[in-house]
Structure 1
Amino acid sequence: MLPVWKRRILEPSFPTKKAQTRGNLTILTGLLVLPSAIAVVMAIEIVALNNERALMQSAADAAALAGARDLMVSGSSQRNAKNFAERFALTQVGSFTERARVAFVATPEKEGVFSVDGYAVRPSFFGNLVPKGGFKIRVRSVAENMVKQPLCILGQNETLAENAIAGDGSSALIAKGCVVHANGDIILKDRASVAAGTVRTSGTSEGGAISPTPNVGALKIPDPFSARTISPPKDCALVPDGGTDVWKQGILTLPPGMHRTQFVMRGTSIMKLQPGEHYFCRPSIFSENSRLEGQNAVMMLIEGELTVRAPASTSLKGRETGPWAGFVIVASRTNASPVSFLSPNVDELLGTIYLPNSQLLVNSPGSVAEASQWSVIVAHRLIVSNAAQLIINSDYEGSPVPVPTGVGSNVGGANNIPLRLRQ
């Protein structure tokens, strides 16, 4: 017979009843915990899904409002507004694009209405089997603007070295009822201010007082007159050189055509522009009590600047007919010389001032252009300085000077732009 200790080693052992019960409980607990865990995970996913849907809806709403706001500007491109709104919506959802496939489709619809549809798909349970293909999110937003405001000021400069619209001192740019837009920065110093129907900048806004709050990061507005050819009937070098013509009194009546003379108007002298296109190949300077006036006329600054110093006065009404109808001052694309109004006695600038590569400087204490029925400025840069107040009116109806295509509108806009979400 084997010893007891050897028999214990060789004999099989069986679990006790207590051990069997403990094992069954472990299996049962596992079976009960699994559905509970799945339910918890699903609850977490549902909360996350609701948050993601809210994020997508918020992005669609913001993009639809941004698109409707862009379309309110006379001359804005529907195609550009569509692309801008879709890019804008994607920026609003941030890092969600890293864990889901996200797309936004913007659609400019009838006048003033803009819609944005958002789509997202992200992974779900068990390799996208539950639900099949992953979690899907669909949102839609429709916005509309109640008023399409006219575009009355466009600062085109986009370079970082210089701003597009600037102000300093106690100067003011007042353009109530229309849109002031900068393709670059709006920089105000001291107590300078801007008051308009809408203020927009594709760059940044800094300093001063701007009312209403500017829309920063807005879609850039392309030059509405870029397709126009600005050239005189013949090259300036082929025109007889008139030298410098200084006037201290009397009336200089200029017929339309080419002027290769530097005009210096002083004393009580007056320059009268006869109806038509006037091509200036030299600078024109007004000072003392001289006066610049014209009706149904446009100054085409091919070379050289235009300067009006205090207390000289100005009253200009732009072209009523012809290829330059609606314009009052135009600089050639190669002319970088400024147009400077340094006198408060600039009463009327009726029409469009177009300076594609130069700046408009308004630097004088007092109101400028206040008597104009309407004015539009499209310039490389606009600078309002000192204590000047540049007044931009937008009363287009009944004006003898028509509004060019791409700016303004047929009627003046409201002081505020009602935007609303319809869906």
Structure 2
Amino acid sequence: MRGPMCRCRRISARSASRISGWQIEKTRRLAGIFGRISRLFAENGTSRLITFGNVMFALGCYVRHGKEVSGARRGQPALKSSFSPSIGQMAGLVAHMRRLAHGESGSAVTIFALALPAMLALVGGALDYAAVMREQNRLQSAADATALAIAREMTIGPMTPDRVQNLATTYALANNADVARASGTLVENGMAVQVRLQKPAEPPLGVLSVLGGVSDLAASATARVTASSTPTKLCVLSLGERTNGGIFMHNGAAVTAPQCMLQSNSRVREAVIIQQGSRLSANLTCARGGIANSAGTVQTTLLTDCPPIPNPLDQKPEPSISGSCLFNNLKVRSQERRTLSPGVYCSGLTVEDNAQVTLLPGIYIFRGGPLVVRQNAEILGQGVTLMFSGRKAYFRFLDNSLVKLSAPVSGATAGMLIWESKSFVKGLNSWQNGGCGGNRDDDDDDNGALGCTVRTVGNALPKKTNEHHINSDRARELTGTIYLREGLLLIDSRRPVADQSPFTVLVVNKLDLYDGPNLTLNANFSGTPVPVPPGLGPIGAKNVRLGM
């Protein structure tokens, strides 16, 4: 757009005489004038660059020739513009320019006025470009993070187009609250997810919007997973969300689970702890928070910032735990052989001193007391579910006791071997309240040892012996799912645990392995008629990565 032609009429001789006597260093004055012009420009906006140039051209005409600017017809204003600085601002500007004008000075100001719109457009465009590129980078980072988060979800469960779209919207808003539109699509035969994000461009000065036509920003990212020839199965799920060491492997502990996925839902920095001398073999180890590996031997894919896995058993209907007590504080000891029937066992059951108990198929409810098997005693049972309800309701397999148990094949508790009821009440001195016990026999969860939040040698917390506890070297067969919604499972035996089971699944609040046990988690689901509860089956993908 060209500026309007200006006609000039001569100003008074008095004004001209004031101009003709001024001498000053041109460079310094030009710098001062540019600073004032910049302030005027900032106060009045950036959308009328050409109009501002016309004003400066007219002022140049005024200073160069000592003449005022008139309109096309006498009595009309020469310019019509939304740029309207105050009279005081214009008077000060004109005064500076009139002082500058001597000889060729007016020509310099006129040239400067003509070049100023382009200069300001260049500077404004550069500032806008830098701001827009920063926002574009933020949007691309959000797209990358969103695609990776959805791909991690693909490693822990099946995906549908609707679920991918919902996750794309949720994660995009979490990563960049300004996103206006998010889309997620399954591609590459369901083994990759493509995310596209869009938002309005908001350059701070508006130069790119006016001159460059920039209105929207867009970013896309693709994340892929690798199909597993051997489908991955979820074998360990730690439910605690604020737990240090949701899965904790003390010095020398081992987990052997080559076909399994281990997941900690803890969001803390040390959601999974693998200490020196520990050995972890698994298909995938995933943590919502971080993983701390202190020189442990690892044969697994370690993945952090994983999405949490909702408790797959949280809504599973519980069998009735009411009813009268079949026994009260029953003790089987001194090499006695006894067969027990399903029912309610109040105040606990103790099997000790080389005794043997055989459990008939059914549901055994331990209300207000523990199940303790110790001192070379034996407990055997097929098709059984052990439920724990109320206070002090724990299981403890100690010493060299023999444990051979398998879950029911059918019925309300099919697949459930050990089940901590929602009516379970944790003790006043439970691990969640800072308690621990102190030794194997100190199992009082109300009055046990205190000070258990103080780390010992090796940077480890004391063992929680007043919780669910497997200390026996002969707990070899535990077929089914062990579900401890609020409880901690401590394993500190010296020999393999559960290694003779076709499969064992642990869904616990916290899992602690101490003093060199080898927790062996087989995943031979087809090797037994005992079913895997819904939500704990094969997953079938691993190795999340970003791609083009």
Judge same fold: TM > 0.5, yes or no.
yes
* Contact in 2 for aligned 1:75/1:407 (Cα 8 Å): no
1:358 paired residue among 487, 495, 507: 487
Q: Partners of 2:338 and 2:199 in 1: how far apart?
A: 70
- How high is the TM-score relative to the length of structure 2? 0.63
Q: Partners of 1:34 and 1:76 in 2: how far apart?
A: 55
* Bigger mean CA deviation after superposition, 18-27 or 83-92: 83-92
* Contact in 1 for aligned 2:257/2:281 (Cα 8 Å): yes
Cα offset, 1:187, TM superposition: 5.3
Structure 1 letter corresponding to 2:493: S
Q: Partners of 1:326 and 1:106 in 2: how far apart?
A: 39
SS in 2 for 1:130: helix
Q: Mark the structure with the bigger radius of gyration.
A: 2
Structure 1 letter corresponding to 2:254: A
Instruction: State the partner residue of 2:249.
Output: 167
* Bigger mean CA deviation after superposition, 54-63 or 183-192: 183-192
Distance 1:257 1:112, change over 3 A: farther
Q: Partners of 1:285 and 1:47 in 2: how far apart?
A: 69
Distance 1:12 1:159, change over 3 A: closer
1:314 paired residue among 397, 400, 403: 403
Q: Within the alignment, does 1:188 sit opposite 2:273 as a pair?
A: yes
Instruction: State the partner residue of 2:223.
Output: 143
* Contact in 2 for aligned 1:232/1:258 (Cα 8 Å): no
SS in 2 for 1:221: coil
Residue deviations 1:291-330, cap 9 Å, x none? 2222222222335221111211222222111121111111
Structure 2 letter corresponding to 1:419: V
Q: Partners of 1:215 and 1:365 in 2: how far apart?
A: 29
* Contact in 1 for aligned 2:253/2:514 (Cα 8 Å): yes
* Contact in 1 for aligned 2:121/2:207 (Cα 8 Å): no
Instruction: State the partner residue of 2:381.
Output: 294
Cα offset, 1:353, TM superposition: 0.5
* Contact in 2 for aligned 1:90/1:104 (Cα 8 Å): no
Instruction: State the partner residue of 1:35.
Output: 118
* Bigger mean CA deviation after superposition, 82-91 or 191-200: 82-91
Q: Which has the higher strand share?
A: 1
SS in 2 for 1:334: strand
Q: Partners of 1:12 and 1:338 in 2: how far apart?
A: 100
* Bigger mean CA deviation after superposition, 328-337 or 367-376: 328-337
2:201 paired residue among 115, 122, 126: 122
Instruction: State the partner residue of 2:371.
Output: 284
SS in 1 for 2:535: coil
Percent identity of equivalent pairs: 24
Q: Within the alignment, does 1:229 sit opposite 2:317 as a pair?
A: yes
* Bigger mean CA deviation after superposition, 272-281 or 313-322: 272-281
Q: Within the alignment, does 1:325 sit opposite 2:402 as a pair?
A: no
Instruction: State the partner residue of 1:255.
Output: 341
Q: Partners of 1:253 and 1:10 in 2: how far apart?
A: 125
* Contact in 1 for aligned 2:467/2:490 (Cα 8 Å): yes
* Contact in 1 for aligned 2:352/2:375 (Cα 8 Å): yes
Q: Partners of 1:141 and 1:126 in 2: how far apart?
A: 28
Q: Partners of 1:61 and 1:297 in 2: how far apart?
A: 48
Correspondences of 1:15-414 after superposition (within 5 Å)? 19=102, 21-43=104-126, 45-46=128-129, 48-74=131-157, 86=169, 88-89=171-172, 101-103=178-180, 105=182, 107=184, 109=186, 111-124=190-203, 125-126=205-206, 129-130=209-210, 135-147=215-227, 149-159=232-242, 164-184=246-266, 185=268, 186=271, 188=273, 190-191=275-276, 192=278, 194-206=280-292, 208=294, 209=296, 212=300, 214-232=302-320, 234-235=322-323, 238-260=324-346, 262-281=348-367, 282-302=369-389, 304-335=393-424, 336=426, 338-409=467-538
Residue deviations 1:82-135, cap 9 Å, x none? 666656545656xxx6xxx43462536485543432122232354885168864
Q: Partners of 1:75 and 1:315 in 2: how far apart?
A: 34
Q: Partners of 1:156 and 1:78 in 2: how far apart?
A: 27
Instruction: State the partner residue of 2:56.
Output: none
Distance 1:24 1:183, change over 3 A: same
Q: Partners of 2:114 and 2:336 in 1: how far apart?
A: 107
SS in 2 for 1:39: helix
Structure 1 letter corresponding to 2:525: Y
* Contact in 2 for aligned 1:232/1:279 (Cα 8 Å): no
Residue deviations 1:14-44, cap 9 Å, x none? 9699945442233124323532442354355
SS in 2 for 1:402: coil
Residue deviations 1:216-235, cap 9 Å, x none? 44333222112223344533
Cα offset, 1:362, TM superposition: 0.7
* Contact in 2 for aligned 1:246/1:265 (Cα 8 Å): yes
SS in 1 for 2:146: helix
Structure 2 letter corresponding to 1:358: G
RMSD: 3.7
Distance 1:261 1:194, change over 3 A: same
Cα offset, 1:358, TM superposition: 1.6
Distance 1:353 1:205, change over 3 A: same
Distance 1:145 1:130, change over 3 A: same
Residue deviations 1:36-78, cap 9 Å, x none? 4423543554455445434422321221111121232138999
Q: Partners of 2:158 and 2:485 in 1: how far apart?
A: 17
Q: Partners of 2:192 and 2:345 in 1: how far apart?
A: 49
Instruction: State the partner residue of 1:6.
Output: none
Structure 2 letter corresponding to 1:418: N
* Contact in 1 for aligned 2:470/2:491 (Cα 8 Å): yes
Cα offset, 1:370, TM superposition: 1.8
Q: Partners of 1:68 and 1:129 in 2: how far apart?
A: 36
Cα offset, 1:150, TM superposition: 2.7
Count how many residue pairs are aligned between Structure 1 and Structure 2. 402
* Contact in 2 for aligned 1:231/1:332 (Cα 8 Å): no
* Bigger mean CA deviation after superposition, 395-404 or 123-132: 123-132
